[in-house]
Amino acid sequence: MRTQVVIVGAGPAGLLLSHLLGLDGIDSVLVERQTAEYVQARIRAGILEAGTVELLRDAGLGARLDVEGMEHRGIHLQWPEHRHHVDFADLIGRSVTVYGQTEVTKDLMAAREKAGRPAYYSADGVTLHDVTGKPSVTFVDSDGKARRIDADVVVGCDGFHGPSRASIPDPQVWERTYPFAWLGVLADVAPSTDELIYAWHPDGFAMHSMRSPRVSRFYLQVAPDEDIAAWSDDRIWAALSERLGVPGWTLETGPITEKSVLPMRSFVATPMRHGNLYLAGDAAHIVPPTGAKGLNLAVADVALLARALTAAVRGDDRLVDAYSETALRRVWRCTHFSWWMTSMLHRHGDDFDARLQLAQLQRTVTSEAAAKELAENYAGLPL
Ligand code: APR
Ligand code: PHB
């Protein structure tokens, strides 16, 4: 089989890239290791920056988002006895939208099927060949048939554990592993808050997020090697009530439908291009979820790359030649912001560290300049 762009990985980055290229008349083929059901079922963060919402709408993917997405003016920052609302809309005129990544993936999958763009799911042994010359990708398809796709360009959208990054010789890698993890909880209960609560607490960080008016999403800071079996539903609700509690406020509880421990790391690999191989999304970088940047950064990479590849097909290589450097400017901005939110809100170190965190929180909710810096980064810099 031959195509213009072969995309390894059909998560949000791969699916969106295929869609955007298709809008510009560029053919692509997706090659995904898992089944479509598996990809769609992944529970991930659900905050869309203003720029992401605009891009999805412009790409014809905003129908359900406009109905089911919940627009939030800002977030609540909290420490014991204190809860402060940071209003992004007042501060910088931009808001964010709560819309689960699984919903974005569902919309992207539906668009792919409607457009009839080819995708191989359950592809085994995906291997990249000759990425600096005439690239191809080989694999065994779901029927056990050996396949080869020849392409002008290969794009690695295969996440942190995919093979594409390994096809870049001598990459420069930066990594920070944090001394804590998140216990993620999904519960069938109406949120007890209008907008997200990020809470600093002596026992550890806690967050109150949501998926819909009837489904709440929570996170608790736990040890990196935490045994989830040690966390009964009662213990989870007690910890959430303690860490999220402020005078006069009650946390509503309900049936817990999912719980899992999520690792926390920062990771950046450069360059994001090698010959005719490009990387986008988690294949090139990982951010701790505290700043809700993972999906939004994947969207930014893909928006940039789709524009660059379209220009290259039309004979102008300036954008593809600048892709890695341009993408990495935003990657490092979002990596810093995610590290900053994570370091400010999670208990680690000694009491001196705790006092520094509380001073930073106090500054952020009392200084307009400090609050604007948080707002601009959280709501997202223009794409
Ligand atoms: N062959 C083919 N596909 C692969 C392989 C492989 N060897 N290895 C991984 N994949 C697929 C995965 O199954 C997954 O569907 O690549 C896809 C990568 O998708 P994501 O990990 O979701 O990464 P990305 O599309 O960049 O989206 C980033 O998703 O992981 C979250 O927090 C992250 O929100 C961010 C967003
Ligand atoms: C989520 O809803 O899963 C979520 C929201 C905000 C974050 C991280 C996760 O910063």
Ligand 1, atom 22: closest residue by C-alpha: 11
**Where along the chain do the CATH 3.30.9.10 domains lie?**
176-263+347-379
Q: pLDDT at position 205, please?
A: 98
The interaxial angle of helices 351-366 and 368-379, nearest 10 deg, is: 90
**Main-chain phi, psi angles of 16, to 5 degrees:** -70, -40
Q: Mind listing the pLDDT tens digit for each residue in 182-230?
A: 999 999 999 999 999 999 999 999 999 999 999 999 999 999 999 999 9
Ligand 2, atom 9: closest residue by C-alpha: 45
Which fold does the domain 5-72+95-174+265-343 belong to in CATH?
Answer: FAD/NAD(P)-binding domain (3.50.50)
Q: Mind listing the pLDDT tens digit for each residue in 300-343?
A: 999 999 999 999 999 999 999 999 999 999 999 999 999 999 99
Helices in 9-70 by DSSP H: which ranges?
A: 12-23, 36-41, 50-58, 63-68
Whether residue 43 is predicted with pLDDT greater than 80 in this model: the reply is no
176-263+347-379 is classed CATH 3.30.9.10: yes
Give how far Cα 21 sits from Cα of 40, 237, 267, 306, 324, Å: 21, 45, 27, 6, 18
**Nearest CA among 5, 4, 3 for reference residue 302:** 5
Three-point CA angle 122, 126, 129, nearest 5°: 155
Is the C-beta atom of 158 inside 6 A of ligand 1?
Answer: yes
**Where along the chain do the CATH 3.50.50.60 domains lie?**
5-72+95-174+265-343
Q: pLDDT at position 198, please?
A: 98
The interaxial angle of helices 12-23 and 294-313, nearest 10 deg, is: 30
Judged by DSSP in three states, 43 sits in coil
Mutation to probe ligand 1, out of 7, 16, 33 (largest number of atoms < 8 A from CB): 33
Q: Mind listing the pLDDT tens digit for each residue in 120-168?
A: 999 999 999 999 999 999 999 999 999 999 999 999 999 999 999 999 9
- The number of the ligand 1 atom at minimal distance from the alpha carbon of 13 is 25
Residues designated as active site: 72, 198, 289, 293, 378
d(Cα 251, Cα 65) in Å, to the nearest integer? 28
Residue 377, amino acid? N
Is the C-beta atom of 8 inside 6 A of ligand 1?
Answer: yes
Is the C-beta atom of 289 inside 6 A of ligand 2?
Answer: yes
Q: pLDDT at position 160, please?
A: 93
Q: Mind listing the pLDDT tens digit for each residue in 241-284?
A: 999 999 999 999 999 999 999 999 999 999 999 999 999 999 99
**Nearest CA among 77, 61, 70 for reference residue 109:** 61
